[in-house]
Structure 1
Amino acid sequence: THPLRIDWLPVEGDKGSIGMTLCPGKYQPVSWTGGWDRQLGLDVESLKDSGTRKLVSLVTNEDMELLRVTQLPTIVQASGIEWTHLPLTDGSAPSARWMRRAAQVFTELQTSIPEGERVVVHCMGGLSRAGTFVALYLNLRGYTMAEAIEKVRTERDVRCINPEQEAFLFGLEQ
């Protein structure tokens, strides 16, 4: 298991930062990003060592079963990292219901990250759902949606945020 890669996307002037990664402990022998057999305990240690105070999980319960990380909430919380679960179906854009649930989290992050909190967001691969979440956060922090999407793709991966999610994000600006 190579070290967990966390891509940090700091906002100028903030004492903390928001980061993106793949699912800690991910087991997926065949995927379009390659085979994965990570160790959950080691990945949570990496999060802790990076100063992460909160982990926002966008994976569904079914995703956690598929990736063999059903113990993720327990192990993360036992490490002292706050765990927030906002499940979003893989590849999909957020629904109005999901956005209502996420509103409180975004409100908290707009205060806690500037004050120094380090927050990591993940989905299965840390690309589409995580990218969408971070773009929403950056937009709330003053970036245009185009700037937010570009920052996510530049700092994490050009494959971040699929076309459906991109259309959703740009639709919010209208």
Structure 2
Amino acid sequence: DEKGIFQELNFQTQLNILQKNNCSSITSFVEDKEFDKLCNKKQFIENIYKHNIKWYHLPISDLSAPDSEFKYQWQTKKVLLKKELIIGKNILLHCWGGKGRAGTVAAILLIEFGENKNEAINIVRAKRKGAIESKEQENFILSYRPIN
């Protein structure tokens, strides 16, 4: 069942685990059309908020690099995510498979904290086999420039 990971009871259990592990936010990179296949988006968001976890939505097309709309939204969201990490919170980044889009954003967050671009890719791939799935995503990371 495609929706298995987000079945109501299972998702509640996962949210409880995230809450107990100091997770302050969930950032979704799936597009709305993917949400329709994944779960009921409204319930998904409501359940997250019921657990006092913040939710951010920064859609990226599957296997693609972030587009100009993402880059615009990222300027504010990265500040919030970095602040959460700096104060010792954990964050969850997710896409459909948890490798391409989530991996790409994990790498640019590392760059935001001063990590070398190639090393950021290596760190993410060491933690998540197959992460940063496309050449387009890799090139995005290699050309990424933090803007303060």
Matched residue, 1:128: 100
Aligned length: 139
Matches of 2:114 and 2:54 in 1, distance apart?
A: 26
Matches of 1:74 and 1:40 in 2, distance apart?
A: 12
Matched residue, 2:78: 106
Partner secondary structure for residue 164 of structure 1: helix
Matched residue, 1:93: 65
Percent identical residues: 27
Partner secondary structure for residue 37 of structure 1: helix
Matched residue, 1:77: 49
Q: Greater helix percent: which structure?
A: 2
| 1:160 is the counterpart of 2:127 | no
- C-alpha RMSD over aligned residues: 1.6
Matched residue, 2:4: 37
Amino acid at match of 2:29: L
2:122 maps to which of 138, 146, 150: 150
TM-superposed CA distance for 1:135, in Å, is 0.4
Pick closer, same or farther for the CA change 1:69–1:43 going to 2, 3 Å. farther
Stretches of structure 1 lacking an aligned partner (at least 5 in a row):
1-26, 29-35
TM-superposed CA distance for 1:69, in Å, is 4.1
Matches of 1:84 and 1:141 in 2, distance apart?
A: 20
Question: Which portions of structure 1, spanning 4 or more consecutive aligned residues, are displaced by more than 6 angstroms?
Answer: none
Amino acid at match of 1:37: G
Amino acid at match of 1:40: F
1:50 maps to which of 4, 21, 30: 21
Matched residue, 1:4: none
Task: Say which structure, 1 or 2, has more relative contact order (CA 8 Å, 6+ apart).
Answer: 1
Stretches of structure 2 lacking an aligned partner (at least 5 in a row):
none
